[in-house]
Structure 1
């Protein structure tokens, strides 16, 4: 049984952070310091929080969801025109039953998009991800709207991470430069059908792969659930105009385990179709993720935080995708 989120997930107005995001001395601003304090508490307590004051218009947030609804309402034959194909970088439309989490079938359909890169740029590891994103022609201007939305999400993610970097006791720029100077990103546009029975798993319990996730969900249906560190499932009630934000596996590693990536799942108990547009901000595809020296020095005595893992992000992503699509790839 999930409990309601209204008093359990923090709501953080990050506008002071955005106003001062290019100032290396931003922590001297009282508003920024308060945002940083709230980010630290949210990341330590649950790993999820609402973000408001983020500067992306509510009209654009609604439009990308409305256009996604229009796509998912099309006949299957139309949607299959951009079907994911073997060797095409896991990009495009996947129909119901093709996505697996922890070996179990999820009840959703989706369009999967990734940052595009030149053939051969990342050698053998990158080969599995090579290819152009597949955008539908219907609805018209969908690609253009999404391109603009993605650019804004990249900038927003970078700025939130400056606040998180300060929250961990570093400079604002620990998650930039060689590590995230050329950030990879993932966009999953997911459709969850309405159901007439309870507890159909739209997406099974999982943590996210990367640094930071921005979730733009339908305003009128509650389906996302977060497992807090006490072991309770929290239902994440949508707040119009906000993003639900969470930290992923790479941030857990880089922070030396001080911040934990959090299990979450989707159960759409509504009889109405639900759309969620998830943007996932990652480190460079070929970057090595390991605890940053500054955080190993700052948290030497916390046994829980001693994460010794070294992970090349691109390898981590490809392995996760191959696990997710193991049945799908074999039966195309």
Structure 2
């Protein structure tokens, strides 16, 4: 159960999925995973069990998605969807008071809405995604759904490996996944985005997206171009580069997972810088693993062996970081926490589909931009 002497990190570790193929190398992978979860909160996953041809095909589709005519993109704008799926124009969101220079589409794994009048509003968050017309980008939806199904399965397998690293039974995590650690497709809905960060103009801010934590349990990021820009904040507050490595995912811990593990798994502040003037755009494709919407993670904190829990002491005290979002985890059901974040980030959607919460959070009416915090 060795830990590195210095828990503060200066690089994001690379873990190789192929180490799981033999009992001897599996032990090495689990040790590396334990270190990454506790001390870094981020890792690269090499040779993941997702078809490389599907990863590459999705990367090839990505610029074509943003090259669709603007009126076609606007026809599936997010304001149409009570589930917050669809297109968001460049500069629609703020983070920490500054505009995020990104254009994006939000999609999700297939799910039929279960919400009915009288149910908690947050149950409306899950439902069908909006897709561009098939004739405009043939094969895109089929490729993306095939990719999402594989990453969803990977996310459940990864949860099992995390349980192994923390020496808890995998069943201990079942309550967060509708009573199963590896539910069938369609029982939960997970979100994904395809994001474009255009090159900044001379004199413009370099904020592609400002410092933030992810929610949920795990994020699997496919960096879909060779541009650097993703940065991770270490314990000293320094920003560490996480440049693209072909064929890998960047995996990071969400705030809900940090909460249920008593801070053993660490949600790490991160940001994206825009490409420099004259560059081509940066593209990225994150997958956000969700958990059951009615779970209040503060009431289902996991128990660990004392010697495992003590490992987080070796990293030392956390320094000041630039991210503060998702502080509501532990207080409310997960679905409600996510709805708060969505409404703050996309008030135009809330004004149309969640008018009561909109009025509560925006008593002065619709702001020019959304802001999660």
User: Which residue in the other structure is 1:190 paired with?
Assistant: 195
| Residue 160 (structure 1) aligned with residue 163 (structure 2) | no
Aligned to 1:256, which of 249, 254, 262? 262
Unaligned 5+ segments in structure 1 are 1-5, 21-28
How many Å apart are 1:257 and its aligned residue?
1.0
How many Å apart are 1:302 and its aligned residue?
7.3
5 Å-filtered alignment, 1:33-72, equals: 33-72=27-66
Q: How many residues align?
A: 316
How many Å apart are 1:124 and its aligned residue?
2.1
Unaligned 5+ segments in structure 2 are 1-8, 181-186, 319-328, 352-365, 369-373
CA distance in 2, matches of 1:301, 1:12: 20
Sort the Cα spacing of 1:53 and 1:7 in 2 relative to 1 into closer, same or farther, 3 A.
Answer: farther
Sort the Cα spacing of 1:171 and 1:107 in 2 relative to 1 into closer, same or farther, 3 A.
Answer: same
5 Å-filtered alignment, 1:147-226, equals: 147-175=145-173, 177-180=174-177, 181=180, 182-197=187-202, 199-226=205-232
| Residue 8 (structure 1) aligned with residue 16 (structure 2) | no
| Residue 134 (structure 1) aligned with residue 130 (structure 2) | yes
- Conservation of the 8 A alpha-carbon contact between 1:223 and 1:235: yes
User: TM-score, normalized by length of structure 2?
Assistant: 0.77
How many Å apart are 1:310 and its aligned residue?
4.3
User: Which residue in the other structure is 1:25 paired with?
Assistant: none
- Conservation of the 8 A alpha-carbon contact between 1:199 and 1:269: no
CA distance in 2, matches of 1:158, 1:130: 19
- Conservation of the 8 A alpha-carbon contact between 2:88 and 2:105: yes
- Conservation of the 8 A alpha-carbon contact between 1:213 and 1:247: yes
Structure 2 counterpart SS, 1:187:
strand
Sort the Cα spacing of 1:70 and 1:195 in 2 relative to 1 into closer, same or farther, 3 A.
Answer: same
User: TM-score, normalized by length of structure 1?
Assistant: 0.86
Structure 1 counterpart SS, 2:82:
coil
| Residue 287 (structure 1) aligned with residue 283 (structure 2) | no
Structure 1 counterpart SS, 2:73:
helix
Aligned-residue CA RMSD (Å)? 2.8
Sort the Cα spacing of 1:58 and 1:77 in 2 relative to 1 into closer, same or farther, 3 A.
Answer: same
